[in-house]
Structure 1
Amino acid sequence: MKLNLVALSIFNLFLVATLINASTETHNERKPYIVYMGDVPAAGISAVNEHQNLLRTAIGDAKLAKESKVHSYKKSFSGFVARLLPHEAKRLSEEEGVVSVFPNTRCKLHTTRTWDFLGLSETLQQKNSKRESDIIVGILDTGIWVKSPSFNDKGYGPPPAKWKGKCFTGANFTGCNNKVVGARYYHLEKEIDPRMDEPSPVDTDGHGTHTSSTASGASVKGASLYGIAQGTARGGLPSARVAMYKVCWEDGCNDMDLLAAFDDAILDGVDLISVSIGGPSRSFFDDPIAIGSFHAMKKGILTSCSAGNEGPHPGTVQNVAPWILTVAASSIDRHLVTAVKLGNGMETSGISINTFSPKKILYPLTSGALAANGSGQGYGNASACDYATLSMNKVKGKIVYCLGSGSQDYTIKELGGAGTIVTLDEPTDTAFTTLIPGAFIGSKDGSKIDHYIDSTKNPQAVIYKTRSVKMAAPFVASFSARGPQVISINILKPDISAPGIDVLAAYSQLVSITGQPMDKRVAPFNIISGTSMACPHAAAASGYVKSFHPDWSPAAIKSALMTTATPMEIKAEDAELGSGSGQINPLRARHPGLIYDISLNDYVRFFCKEGYNSTSIGLLLGGKKRFNCSSFKPAQGTDGLNYPSMHTQVKNKNSSISAVFYRTVTHVGYGKSVYKAIITSAKGLSIRVVPNTLIFSKPRETMSFKVVVKGGVMKKGNHILSALLEWRDYKHSVKSPILVYRPGQSVG
C-alpha cells in the first residue's frame, strides 16, 4: 500500500460519506454480492448455467435473475457477482454448493539502492537473466505505464510458451511488448454505474507502475527524482516479464474486480502474484485476496501481499491467510534529509522529499500564528497553518513555520508562500514529497525556530534540496502494520519484512509526482513509501528463489525466505509482531538448507482445526460436497500447520504459557548433513526441542520434531516474550522466531 497523507485524508472522507450514504439506503436496494462456490466444476458442467440456476432459485424470477447477474468466475475457481437484496443473499448462502456470500466492498492501495542493500547486485542479476526471462510476475494494481524506460523490451525474445494472457487496449494505452506481456483491466461496477472511469490498463495513479518496476523493472542507469536518490534503477527480477491486472480506480479496488483478476491470472500462466492492496481482516472465505491466493497456491503460484499501513498500532496487520506471504515495510541504509538554515546561522535538518533548489540565499520567514488572517472564517488552528486561517498578504513570498500534521504545503502554496517548515507531533521515518520547498523537523528544533521568529525583527531562512545520507538499517517502518492477527490467532503475521521506506522506482507520466492537480511536476521515476513498496520486493525475492528451484511449492519458497531472513532492529513492544522473521535476504534464500513445506492436505487439516464447515472445505477441493474432517489425520499442535514461525496467544492475562508445535523439515542441501537445535530465549520461557539433533543421509529426506514451550503467568506490563529456534549445520542457519503474546492490549 502506498503511504500518502493526502490520500489517507481523502479516503477517510470517502469512508465517512459512504457510511452516511449507507445509513440512508433503503432495505430494498439491490447491491452487488459475491457468491463464492469453491473450485471449478467438473468437466461437462457449465459453471455459467450453474450460477444462473442458483440465482434464479434465490430470486424467484428468471428474467430478474438474468438482469441481476454482473459477472461469473469460471476459470480458476467458481462463483459469480449479482445485485441482490439481503434476504436473497441469505438464501443463496444456505444453498448446497455455496461456500460463502459476502457484499462487494472496496479495498485500498496499501529502485536505485534497495537491491544492492539486500545483497542482490546487478552482476548477480545479469548472471541469472536467462532463468528469470521465463518468469512472469502478475501484478494486481492501478495499471501500468508501458512507455517507462523500466519496461523497455530491447533484447527480449517473445513471451514464454506457457503465457496464455491477453493485452487489452484503451485510452493512452496502445499495447504491450515483450517485457510487459499482458495487461487487463477490471471494472465490473461499470455494469452498475456507467459514470465510472474510462476503461484502460493505463496507470493514471502511478502506484501500479511503481510496484511493477520494483518487482521486475529493467535496469535504467542515471535514474532519480529530480536528481534525488540517483543511481541505476532495477527490479529484483530485471529480466522477468510483467503482466498487469488493473483492479484499482479512483474509487478504490473492488472485491469483485480482485477476484476476476485472480481468476484470469492463474490460468494466464503467471509464476507469482504481487498484491499491494488490502482492507480490514475477514474470514478467509469472505476475503477476495485470501480466496484468489488460495486457488493460486493450488496451482503452484505464490502470492505476496502488503501487510498494511496502519502501524504502529497492534492488531492492524492485513492479508493474514497462511498461504499468503505477508510483507511488512522496513528501511534501507539510505536516508533522505532536507537541510534548513536560519538567518542567525542555526542549521538543522528535517525529513522530506524536496525537489527544489533555493533561488535566494535567504527568504523572509514567518509563523502560522503571525500570519493568521484574524477574520475568524477558518475553523482550524492558524499556528498549524490550517486551511482558511492564514492571510495571503502575510504569507506570500515567505517561508512559513507551522505546527504540524503534514499537509500544510498545499495551503501555503495556494497563498503564494515560498516554503514550509513543519514541526511534527511525533518523529517520522518516512519522507513525503512537498508541493513547494518544505521540511518536517523535530519539536526541539521547532521550538528554537519559533523563538527565533518571535525574537527577531527580520527573521529569514532557506530550505535546501533533499540529499541522501547513510544510516543504520534495517528497522521496521513506523507506519507498517503490526500483529497479532485476529483471524487465525496462532499464526504469526506479518511473515517477513522488505524495503518500503523512500523507494525510488518507475512512475506514470500521466500524473504528477504528488498526485495533486496543482502540481505540474511529472517524472519517469518517483520516491514513495508504504507496505505497497515492500510487497513487490518480497515477490521478486520469491521469483529469484523460484528461478533456482522451479519445482518448489509456494510454501517451500516462502519458508526459504523466512528462515534465512536478516534479523531486524525491533522495539520491545513490537518484537516479531512488526518484523515477522526479519528482512528478506534473497541470496541466502537460494540455499536455505531446510524448508518447512505445506501441502494442500495440510491446509485442509488446518481448516478442520480452525472449525471451518466440512462442506465448504469439500467445495474448495473440487466439489466433494460430502467431505468429512474425520477422514483426515487431525492437525497437531498449537497452530496446526507446518509454519516456518511459531506463535501462540495465551488465553488471558492470568494464564500460564503452554504450547506445543509439531514441525517437519525437508533437507534441500547436498549429501549428508547433521543439524543441531540452538535456542535463544527470553527470561520466563522454557523451550525444549525433541529431538534436538536431525541427521539427514540424502537430499529431500524429511524429519519431524516438536517444540514444547512452557512458562508461568506473564508479568504485569509485559505482553510479549520472544525466542528463536535455530537449526545449524556446518553451512546453514535455519531460523524460526517463537513468539508468545498475552491479550489485553488494544488490538484492531
Structure 2
Amino acid sequence: MLTSVFGVKGETKDYYIVFLSNQSVNKASTHISILSALKGSDLDAKKAHVYSYTKSFNAFATKLSESKARELSGMDGVQSVILNQYRKLHTTRSWDFIGLPQTARRKKLESDIIIGVMDTGITPQSESFNDDGFSPPPAKWNGSCHHFANFSGCNSQVHNAELFGLAKGTARGAVPAARVAMYKVCWASSGCSDMDLLAGFDAAIHDGVDIISISIGGLTGAYTNDTISMASFHAMNKGILTVASAGNDGPSLGSVTNHAPWLLTVAASGIDRGFQSKVVLGNGKTVNGIGINGFNLKQKLYPITSGDDVAINSGSQESARFCLENTLDPRKVKGKLVRCKLETWGSDSVIKGLGGIGTIIESDMFLDTAQIFMAPATMVNSTVGETISDYIHSTRSPSAVIYKSEQVKISAPFIATFSSRGPNPGTKHVLKPDIAAPGINILASYTPLQTLTGLKGDTHFSKFTIMFGTSMACPHLAFDMVCMRKATPMSSRVNQNAELAYGVGQLNPRCAVSPGLIYDMDSMSCVQFLCHEGYDGSSIASLIHSKSKIDCASLLPPLVSEDAINYPTMQLTLKNKKGITTGTFRRTVTNVGRDKSTYNATIRAPKGVNITLEPMTLSFSHTSKRRSFKVTVSANVNGSKKLVVSGSLIWRSCCNVVRSPIVILNPQYQNS
C-alpha cells in the first residue's frame, strides 16, 4: 500500500489556490517571494503559505483576504486565483454478477498497474490490503510509503468475508495483483477541500499512477476553473485516466457532477442481491421490509405502536411521527416496536435509547438500498406502512416481530435511485454519466476504529460492512481503463431516464481483453471542444498552462461537428422551437483488434428521428490504423413527448461489436 496524507483537519474556507504561468519558476521559494511582494514581508508570506504544488503543477495555496486575492490575480505570472471550496464525499458478489469470476484468466503485467485512490483513506491493517507475497513496487513508482503503511501490495482476496452472516463469500478486487496508492484528501469533519485535492493530484501524477479513482464531487463550476476538472486534464496529458463518481443526488435530473469530457463519470447500478427482513403482525399478516438487521429477537411477538401515538405531549405529535429526539415519551416506548416515518436516519438509535425493542421505518425513498441498523429495524414503503398503522389502530393490544435479515435474489441491473442523472449541466453536447457499475449493497472492507453506523449507542464493529453510493461504483471502473464501447446495454423501460441515468450501460469487464475499436481523445481535441463551447482563449490558456492566449478561431476545423470532440457517445439537444434540429457528429476510431479487419455499421433510430452515416463500412489494414466517419441526426422537436429518446450506431466485425448510443434530448420536458 502506497499512502500519502494531505490537509489539516478543521481548515477554514478563506484559502485560495494560485496558478502560475509556465514561465514562472516552479519552486516553493518562488511562491513565497510572490506572497512576500503581496504581503510586505517574508514572515507574513510564510504564515499565509499552505502548499506549494511543484511536482505536476506550478501553483500554491495560501490564506488571503478577498481583496488581497483580487490584487494577487493581477500580478505578473499569475494565471488564475481560485477560491478553495469544500466538496462532498460521495466485494463478494458484484464481480461475478458483471461477468468476472474468480476463475478468469489473469495477465502477468497486472502487478505493474498502480491505481491512485483519493478519499478518506484506508485501514492498512485490513486483510483486504495484505501484501504478503507481493514484489516491490514497479520501477516507475516515484512515490514513497508512509511509515504506518510501509508495504506495496493491495487488493488481496479475503475468504469468508461477511456482515451478520450476509453477503458471505470472497471479497476481492478485479485485479488482485494491482497496486493501490492511497491519497487521503478528505476529512470526516470538514469534507474534501480543493487545495487538498490538488495536492493529491500533484503527488499522484508525479508518483507514476496509471489510473486515478476519485469518489468526490458536489461542485459544477466551469471546466477551466474547477479543481477536479483542471487536475484531471493535467493527468490526461500525462496519460493518466481519471475515473470519478457521478454523485448521489438522484433521481433529480441535471444532478450529475464530475462531467468534464476528459473524466470517466460512473453511475451506480444494483446487483442481483438484496436484503429483506420479514415482519409478522399479531393478526397473522406478514410483510417484508428492506435493510440489514442482524438481530434475533427472543420473543415471538412484542407490543407495537406508532411514533405519533407515544408523543411526549400534543405539541410534539407532528415531530414524533418521525421519532425525532426529545419528542417521544420513554414510558410509552419502552419494551415496544415503534413505527416511524423517515425524515433523517437514526430513529433506530432513538428508539433503542428510550428502551424500545425495535423500529419499522416508513419511506418511499431509498428502497433500493439496504441501510444497516444498530438495533432490530427494517424499512417499508408507505403502502405497507399504512397497513401496519391500520392494524395498530384496529385492536387494543397490537403486536408484531421483526426477523433477522435474509439475503434474497432480485432482478438486476437497475440504476440506483440516489445515482445522479444528466442532462449534463456543463454542456448540452456531452452525455453524462458515461457508464454504470455496481454501487448498491457492496461488501467492503471497513475500519475497526468506528462502529458500523456511527450512531449513538451503537456497539457493533466489523472488518467488513455493506455500503452503497456512486463511490462504490467508481472503483469498479478504475481497474478497467475504460470499456465504454462494449458496455452491456440497459433497459430504458426499467430506468425511465435511460442514458441520462446509465450512459452507455453496465460495465462489461471482459471487454478489456478485446475492445476492437477505441475513440482516442487528446488534449488538442479537448481544447477544440472548449473553443466550440464558447470558452475564451485566456481561460483555456489558464487550464492548459499556456504562456499565451489560445486563438480559438485558428484551432476549430472548417467543418465543426455538433460537439467538436471525439466522444464514444453522441447527444443532440433539440431547440425549444418548432421545426427540425439537425446535428453532425464527426468521429475517428482506432483499430486495437486484429491487423486486418472490416466493420459494417447498423443504425438503430427511434421513431421520428432520421440518422445517416458515411461511410457504412470501415476497413483496417493493421493495428493502430485510424478511420473516420460522419453521423447526421435530424429530429423534430414535436416528434416526442419524452425528455430523452435514443438510438445507436453499432459497428460489427467478425470478432467484435462496438456500440455508440445516440441520444436525442428534448429539454422542454426536463421539468415536466
Deviations 1:546-585 (A, max 9, x none): xxxxxxxxxxxx3xx1110011133564120110111110
Single out whichever of 444-453 and 528-537 deviates more from structure 2: 444-453
| SS in structure 1 at match of 2:479 | helix
| SS in structure 1 at match of 2:168 | strand
Deviations 1:269-320 (A, max 9, x none): 1111110111120112221111211111111111111000000010100001
Structure 1 residues 578, 625: closer, same or farther in 2, change over 3 A?
same
Q: CA deviation at 1:426?
A: 4.3
* Correspondence 1:387 to 2:318: no
Q: Which residue of 1 aligns with 2:191?
A: 252
Structure 1 residues 256, 745: closer, same or farther in 2, change over 3 A?
farther
Q: Percent of aligned pairs with the same residue?
A: 47
Q: CA deviation at 1:719?
A: 2.2
- 1:99–1:285 Cα contact (<8 Å) kept: no
Q: CA deviation at 1:718?
A: 2.5
Q: Choose which of 564, 580, 589 in structure 1 pairs with 2:512.
A: 589
Q: Which residue of 1 aligns with 2:151?
A: 177
**Counterpart mapping for 1:72-83 below 5 A:** 72-83=52-63
Question: What is the rounded CA distance, in whole Å, between the counterparts of 1:629 and 1:336 in structure 2?
Answer: 54
| SS in structure 2 at match of 1:283 | coil
Q: Choose which of 52, 65, 69 in structure 1 pairs with 2:32.
A: 52
Question: What is the rounded CA distance, in whole Å, between the counterparts of 1:382 and 1:31 in structure 2?
Answer: 40
Question: What is the rounded CA distance, in whole Å, between the counterparts of 2:249 and 2:638 in structure 1?
Answer: 27
* Correspondence 1:32 to 2:15: yes
Q: What amino acid maps onto 2:348 in structure 1?
A: D
* Correspondence 1:402 to 2:324: no
Question: What is the rounded CA distance, in whole Å, between the counterparts of 2:436 and 2:454 in structure 1?
Answer: 27
Question: What is the rounded CA distance, in whole Å, between the counterparts of 2:574 and 2:641 in structure 1?
Answer: 15
* Correspondence 1:570 to 2:548: no
Question: What is the rounded CA distance, in whole Å, between the counterparts of 1:517 and 1:131 in structure 2?
Answer: 47
**Counterpart mapping for 1:694-709 below 5 A:** 694-709=618-633
Deviations 1:380-437 (A, max 9, x none): 4323323322111111121111233352212212211111112214462111111211
Question: What is the rounded CA distance, in whole Å, between the counterparts of 1:527 and 1:596 in structure 2?
Answer: 36
Question: What is the rounded CA distance, in whole Å, between the counterparts of 2:17 and 2:306 in structure 1?
Answer: 53
Structure 1 residues 488, 58: closer, same or farther in 2, change over 3 A?
farther
Q: What amino acid maps onto 1:401 in structure 2?
A: R
Question: What is the rounded CA distance, in whole Å, between the counterparts of 1:33 and 1:144 in structure 2?
Answer: 28
* Correspondence 1:241 to 2:179: yes
Q: What amino acid maps onto 1:568 in structure 2?
A: M
- 1:106–1:253 Cα contact (<8 Å) kept: yes
Q: Choose which of 69, 78, 90 in structure 2 pairs with 1:98.
A: 78
Q: Choose which of 518, 522, 533 in structure 2 pairs with 1:599.
A: 522
| SS in structure 2 at match of 1:606 | helix
Q: Which residue of 2 aligns with 1:190?
A: none
Q: Which residue of 1 aligns with 2:304?
A: 365
- 1:339–1:347 Cα contact (<8 Å) kept: yes
Question: What is the rounded CA distance, in whole Å, between the counterparts of 1:603 and 1:92 in structure 2?
Answer: 29
Q: Choose which of 368, 382, 400 in structure 2 pairs with 1:429.
A: 368
Q: Which residue of 1 aligns with 2:114?
A: 136
Question: What is the rounded CA distance, in whole Å, between the counterparts of 1:576 and 1:434 in structure 2?
Answer: 33
| SS in structure 2 at match of 1:177 | coil
Question: What is the rounded CA distance, in whole Å, between the counterparts of 1:89 and 1:379 in structure 2?
Answer: 51
Number of residues of Structure 1 aligned to a counterpart in Structure 2? 657
- 2:306–2:339 Cα contact (<8 Å) kept: yes
- 2:311–2:317 Cα contact (<8 Å) kept: no
- 2:294–2:376 Cα contact (<8 Å) kept: yes
Structure 1 residues 300, 41: closer, same or farther in 2, change over 3 A?
farther
Q: Choose which of 708, 720, 723 in structure 1 pairs with 2:644.
A: 720
| SS in structure 2 at match of 1:264 | helix
- 1:330–1:499 Cα contact (<8 Å) kept: yes
> Structure 1-normalised TM-score?
0.84
Q: Which residue of 2 aligns with 1:195?
A: none
Q: Choose which of 660, 668, 674 in structure 1 pairs with 2:584.
A: 660
Q: Choose which of 580, 595, 602 in structure 1 pairs with 2:503.
A: 580
Q: What amino acid maps onto 1:582 in structure 2?
A: G
Q: Which residue of 2 aligns with 1:155?
A: 133
Question: What is the rounded CA distance, in whole Å, between the counterparts of 1:92 and 1:483 in structure 2?
Answer: 37
| SS in structure 1 at match of 2:32 | helix
Question: What is the rounded CA distance, in whole Å, between the counterparts of 2:77 and 2:573 in structure 1?
Answer: 34
| SS in structure 2 at match of 1:658 | strand
Q: What amino acid maps onto 1:603 in structure 2?
A: C
Q: Which residue of 2 aligns with 1:13?
A: none
- 1:501–1:529 Cα contact (<8 Å) kept: yes
**Counterpart mapping for 1:268-287 below 5 A:** 268-287=207-226
**Counterpart mapping for 1:340-379 below 5 A:** 340-374=279-313, 376=315, 378=316
Q: CA deviation at 1:55?
A: 3.3
- 2:532–2:556 Cα contact (<8 Å) kept: no
Question: What is the rounded CA distance, in whole Å, between the counterparts of 1:81 and 1:179 in structure 2?
Answer: 32
Deviations 1:41-95 (A, max 9, x none): 58xx343344334434545555533432221111101111112222332233344
Q: Which residue of 2 aligns with 1:628?
A: 551
Structure 1 residues 178, 692: closer, same or farther in 2, change over 3 A?
same
* Correspondence 1:443 to 2:382: yes
Q: Which residue of 2 aligns with 1:113?
A: 93
Q: Which residue of 1 aligns with 2:200?
A: 261
Question: What is the rounded CA distance, in whole Å, between the counterparts of 1:373 and 1:225 in structure 2?
Answer: 36
Question: What is the rounded CA distance, in whole Å, between the counterparts of 2:149 and 2:592 in structure 1?
Answer: 42
Question: What is the rounded CA distance, in whole Å, between the counterparts of 1:596 and 1:424 in structure 2?
Answer: 43
Q: Which residue of 2 aligns with 1:729?
A: 653
Q: CA deviation at 1:262?
A: 0.5
Q: Which residue of 2 aligns with 1:679?
A: 603
Question: What is the rounded CA distance, in whole Å, between the counterparts of 1:698 and 1:594 in structure 2?
Answer: 12
| SS in structure 2 at match of 1:475 | coil
- 1:476–1:570 Cα contact (<8 Å) kept: no
Structure 1 residues 692, 97: closer, same or farther in 2, change over 3 A?
farther
Q: Which residue of 1 aligns with 2:123?
A: 145
* Correspondence 1:307 to 2:230: no
Question: What is the rounded CA distance, in whole Å, between the counterparts of 2:446 and 2:555 in structure 1?
Answer: 49
Structure 1 alignment gaps of length 5 or more: 1-17, 23-29, 181-216, 543-557
| SS in structure 1 at match of 2:321 | helix
Question: What is the rounded CA distance, in whole Å, between the counterparts of 1:176 and 1:371 in structure 2?
Answer: 55
Q: CA deviation at 1:645?
A: 0.5
* Correspondence 1:467 to 2:406: yes
* Correspondence 1:476 to 2:396: no
Q: Which residue of 2 aligns with 1:648?
A: 572
| SS in structure 2 at match of 1:273 | strand
Deviations 1:356-382 (A, max 9, x none): 122222222222132222263x37432
**Counterpart mapping for 1:179-218 below 5 A:** 179=153, 217-218=155-156
Deviations 1:588-612 (A, max 9, x none): 2321111111122212222222233
| SS in structure 2 at match of 1:80 | strand
- 1:653–1:742 Cα contact (<8 Å) kept: no
| SS in structure 2 at match of 1:285 | coil
Q: CA deviation at 1:149?
A: 0.8
Question: What is the rounded CA distance, in whole Å, between the counterparts of 2:630 and 2:533 in structure 1?
Answer: 20
Q: Which residue of 1 aligns with 2:160?
A: 222
Question: What is the rounded CA distance, in whole Å, between the counterparts of 1:267 and 1:291 in structure 2?
Answer: 16
- 1:41–1:623 Cα contact (<8 Å) kept: no
Q: Which residue of 2 aligns with 1:10?
A: none
